[in-house]
Amino acid sequence: MNTPLTPLCAVLAALLLSACQTAPVKTAAPSISPEEVGEFRQGSGYLNGYLDRKELPDSLALVPPPPAPGSARQAADLQLHQQTRALRNTPRWDYAFKDVNLKFPEAAGVFSCALDVPISQEATPHLNMLLRRSLVDAGFATYKAKDHYNRKRPFAELGETTCSPKEEAHLSKDGAYPSGHAALGWAWGLILAGVAPDKANAVLQRGHAFGDSRMVCGVHWQSDLEAGRVVGAAAVARLQANPVFQAQAQLAKAEIAAARAKGLKSDRTDCAAEAAALKR
- Catalytic-role residue among 151, 206, 208, 220: 220
CA–CA dist 175, 177 (Å, integer): 6
Return the biggest CA–CA distance within the chain: 57
Residue 224 is a catalytic residue: yes
- Catalytic-role residue among 81, 126, 153, 214: 214
Angle, helix 180-195 to helix 125-140, in steps of 10 degrees:
140
SS3 per-residue string spanning 111-171 = HHHHHCCCCCCCCCHHHHHHHHHHHHHHHHCCHHHHHHHCCCCHHHHHCCCCCCHHHHHHH
Residue 170 is a catalytic residue: no
- Catalytic-role residue among 181, 206, 208, 229: 181
- Catalytic-role residue among 153, 208, 224, 229: 224
How many angstroms from the chain centroid is the CA of residue 161?
23
SS3 per-residue string spanning 186-210 = HHHHHHHHHHCHHHHHHHHHHHHHH
Residue 126 is a catalytic residue: no
Burial class of residue 54 (count of CB atoms within 10 Å of its CB; 0-12, 13-18, 19+): exposed
Give me the active site residues, please.
Answer: 181, 214, 220, 224
